[in-house]
Amino acid sequence: MTNYLYKSKQTCPLCKKTYESIKVRNSKLIILSRYSDFYTQYKEIDPLRYTIIVCPYCGYAGPDYAYEIQKKEDRLAIYEQLKDRQLTINFNKERDLNLALSTYKLAIYVQGFRKEASGILGGLYLRAGWLHRFEQDPINDPYSPGPDEELPYLKQALTHYLKAYELEVRPPGNMNKPTFEYLIGELYRRTQNPAEAITWYNKVVSDPRNKAYPAIPKMAREAWHVCSNSNT
């Protein structure tokens, strides 16, 4: 195991068994660049490969930022889907791209049984798309679309985020509403729909309540100009 990784004890929120998962030493990470859709590229290792925690006993999988299961109904729904399944792959080791993507696919399957799953699923698809960007276009211009292999994941992320925006009470993760609206606009732009992107950037810029988050309207204005120039 490299100096960037270490083993940490983890208790599965579904079967309650304890095991060791692999985590990244954040203190070792060196930032190379930040992208307009909040992806951060690091030198030497991509922590996205280890975002998903997988229980080797019951197969429960979820992102480290939303691993716990708070609602009993979610726990029961997930348990019903996993109780007869057997995990045949060892995910608790160093992960290449294919193994990392397999953890995301497993997490997307498992987390889809939550009652409010759209926000979590959007984040999983987004990060899976980022994995492709890191592997294939490390010095990409911040405003250029991602590689073809990335686009299907971004489209899925957008679909689920739109559903979350419509139906779920709070924005996913630690996002506030203007950040969430900006990200939806950014995903429209990166999936080659600048007209819809501009609509969402306008939501951010025109809402006076967003003055409390000055960085986000500034990013929305910059992206708005990029979209406008691409249409002329």
Per-residue pLDDT of the chain (232 residues; tens, 9 = 90+): 678 999 999 999 999 999 999 999 999 999 999 999 999 999 989 999 999 999 999 999 999 999 999 999 999 999 999 998 888 899 999 999 899 999 999 999 999 999 999 999 999 999 999 998 866 544 544 444 445 789 999 999 999 999 999 999 899 988 999 999 999 999 999 999 999 999 999 999 998 888 888 999 999 999 998 888 775 4
Full residue range of the structural domain in which residue 161 is found? 5-174
Is 227 a domain residue?
no
> Which residue in the block uniquely carries the two structure tokens 């979590």?
120
Number of structural domains, the chain?
Answer: 1
How do beta strands 40-42 and 31-34 pair? antiparallel
Indicate whether this model's pTM tops 0.75.
Answer: yes
Is 231 a domain residue?
no
Is 116 a domain residue?
yes
Mapping DSSP to helix (H, G, I), strand (E, B) and coil, where does residue 13 land? coil
Is 220 a domain residue?
no
Other C-beta atoms closer than 10 Å to the C-beta of 160 total 23
Is 79 a domain residue?
yes
Is 86 a domain residue?
yes
Is 12 a domain residue?
yes
How many Å apart are CA 39 and CA 18, to the nearest integer? 31
Is 182 a domain residue?
no
Which of 195, 194, 192, 217 has its CA nearest to residue 206?
217
